[in-house]
Amino acid sequence: MRLQLRIGGAGLLAAMVILGSAAAFAQQSGNTGTDWPTEKCNRYRKAYDQSLARLGKKGLGAEFLASHDAFLASNCQARAEVCARSKEELELANRLVVMAMNSGMASTFPPFYCRN
């Protein structure tokens, strides 16, 4: 009987360690219970806001900004059609692609696409 208590206690201890590790991993990885598409959009929006704060909007055209804002307003679900044409737009787009990838997203997540 005493052996069963030790095994039971060890099993309980192991379960507590596993659950604690899973909770710590979820917190560290940024998983807050939000669905992955929304989490990606939140991360991307944060990168966009940080980039604009650092680089400013000089050289960013109205069409570029409006298309990008529409992408964000759709919770990053709208068809990606933000075309970077100017030097500043290309710099921002490249920066956002790298930041998105560093945040765990594929390089295809950002909305940059030019038909021509």
Say whether pTM exceeds 0.85: no
Find tokens 């945040």 and name the residue. 103
The answer, yes or no, to whether residue 16 has pLDDT greater than 50, is: no
Q: What is the pLDDT of residues 31-44, one digit of tens each?
A: 556 799 999 999 99
What are the CA-CA distances from residue 84 to residues 15, 26, 45, 73, 75 (Å)? Answer: 51, 35, 17, 19, 20
Domain map of the chain by residue range? 1-33, 35-116
The answer, yes or no, to whether residue 15 has pLDDT greater than 90, is: no
The DSSP line for 49-97 is HHHHHHH-STT--HHHHHHHHHHHHTTT-S---B---SHHHHHHHHHHH
In the prediction, which pLDDT does 8 show?
Answer: 52
Q: Under DSSP, is residue 107 helix (H, G, I), strand (E, B) or coil?
A: coil
